[in-house]
Amino acid sequence: MSVVTVQLGQCGNQVGVEFFDTLYNDAQAGQRKAYATASCERFFHQTKDGDLVARAVQIDMEPKVIKQNFSKTAKSSKWKYDAASSFNQRQGSGNNWANGFCVQGPRHKEAVEDVTRREVERCDRLSGLMAMMSVAGGTGSGVGTYVTQCLRDVYPKSFIVNHLTWPYRTGEVIVQNYNSVLTLGHLYQLSDGLLVHENDTVHKMCSQLLRIKDISITDINKVIAHQLGAVLQPALTADSNGVYSRNPLGELVSALVCHPEYKLLSMSTIPQMPSSFIAYTTFGWSPLIKDLRQMLVSNTKMEQGIDWQVRPLAVSERTRSLTGSNVNTSLANLLILRGKDVFSAETVDFSDAAIYSSWLSPKDAFNVWKCPVSFNKYEKTATLVSNSQALIESLDNMVKKAWNMFAARAYIHQYTKFGLSEVDFLESFSFAEQIISSYSQLGCNG
Ligand SMILES: Nc1nc2c(ncn2[C@@H]2O[C@H](COP(=O)(O)OP(=O)(O)OP(=O)(O)O)[C@@H](O)[C@H]2O)c(=O)[nH]1
Ligand SMILES: [Mg+2]
């Protein structure tokens, strides 16, 4: 089964190209035919001439980034994008969600649906669609939300997952918090799961783990691509009987999203280090899994600076207080292990009821996928996708900043002039507040 990726706006298209590059490089390394075949079937199709073409649609309201993607992939001559599966305009959406959602999206609905249909029809069987975008600009966020709504209508039975890049807190787009709240408020009703990367967190990884001095956006995107690849490359699930699971997006959603109010998924991957160190470092499964668990519980986003003092409380010890606890409670976790001796890895640390809400038994809340093939040059990789409180502090920060601007009526006319009403704004605020409140209650008893 295959995944069609829909890349939207500058960020979606720039992250997308690194994502496919990572998948390609990983699949082609070494003598691993079954793995390479499963990965290629999932993310690429082959032309009559033997070229690999990404199962991707590129959409942007300005031409620059898509053009760069074509020249980059032509130069490296490893894999390609299909020119017929891309759509661009000349102007951009001016960092304005309302322009993207109310004007550009509807104006180009048919063209976008056509290019997407081409890619979907190329798949023997569709596992689902993954839309990639930032939440802070105008095209990724506004057109991206509109396109997700169209995809939901056209493919009602398919899984739709969105990969969202959240902006730097002190970002360059003044209205980024409006755009973020409007995107989340709408996508929450449309998407099956929202996989989130925060630019601040990834930036810190580049600096502290990878020790990069002048961090470029490509460095950031490579880290995002590495983590996404570690999740979505072929793996064996508990009931896949030794063959690579066929439906990655479906399996991901069913492992993690069991309730429509909880769709925010964060990711952590360890180890990550400068490439020159990889060959000289060995890791055991047990320390990797212990670190990853403590990163989860203490909501430390990197293996550097893990707070070992934070201890989860047993359900019976939890109080009704929504604040005061520094423990990150999970609704569900998916652990993905790739590499040497993977079948001997012991994952019982993640089956501890103390790290979960009281609603699900750890048996239902925890899943593990394994793959004996090493991923992207690392002998062993452990990745956690978590439906937990990890993103709530950042979301709360976005909503508060957006609300302060809204209360001061700042820039609202820029949105209403494209047809968005103040009621639309208020609905998105109320949705975002509801998400925060639902996640806050995860750590309570009962
Ligand atoms: N991680 C990452 N973030 C990016 C990238 N490009 C832009 N961003 C972030 O995305 C936000 C801006 O959104 P863009 O994707 O540039 O905007 P767009 O979707 O092209 O929309 P318009 O240009 O307004 O039409 C800011 O928060 C940037 O920090 C990228 O390649 N990688
Ligand atoms: Mg743009």
| Tens of pLDDT, residues 159-190 | 999 999 999 999 889 999 999 999 999 999 99
Domain at 2-267, CATH from 3.40.50.1440, 3.30.1360.30, 3.40.50.12780, 1.10.10.410: 3.40.50.1440
pLDDT value, residue 305:
81
Atom of ligand 1 nearest to the CA of 138: 24
Most distant CA atoms of the chain, gap in Å: 64
Model confidence over 280-337: pLDDT tens digits? Answer: 888 899 999 999 999 999 999 888 888 888 888 776 677 654 444 688 999 999 999 9
How many Å lie between the centroid of ligand 2 and the Cα of residue 161? 22
Query: Which ligand does the CA of 133 lie closest to?
Result: 1
Closest C-alpha to ligand 1, atom 16: 10
* Cα dihedral value 66, 68, 73, 74, nearest 10: 110
- Tokens (6 digits) for 280: 């000289």
Answer yes or no: CATH 3.30.1330.20 is held by domain 269-389: yes
> Can you give the residue ranges of every domain in the chain?
2-267, 269-389
Radius of gyration of the chain from its Cα atoms, rounded to whole angstroms? 21
Angle at 258 between CA 302 and CA 57, to 5 degrees: 70
Q: Say what the pLDDT of residue 446 is.
A: 52
Ligand 1 binding site (Cβ under 6 Å of any ligand atom): 9-11, 14-15, 61, 92-95, 134, 136-140, 165, 167-168, 171, 173, 176, 199, 217, 220-221
Q: Which atom of ligand 1 is nearest to the CA of 12?
A: 15
Give the pLDDT of residue 445.
60
Q: Is 376 helix (H, G, I), strand (E, B) or coil?
A: coil
Q: For the chain, which residues score pLDDT lower than 50? A: 321-324
Distance 183 CA to ligand 1 centre (A): 14
Helical ranges in 191-330 per DSSP H: 199-204, 217-232, 248-256, 275-278, 285-298
* CA angle in degrees (0–180, nearest 5) for 103-104-107: 85
The pLDDT score that the predictor gives to residue 162 is: 98
pTM for the full predicted model: 0.97
Residue owning the nearest CA to atom 28 of ligand 1: 167
How much is the pLDDT for 282?
83
Closest CA to 6 of 122, 120, 121, 97: 120
| pLDDT of res. 280 | 81
pLDDT at position 319, please? 60
The number of the ligand 1 atom at minimal distance from the alpha carbon of 143 is 19
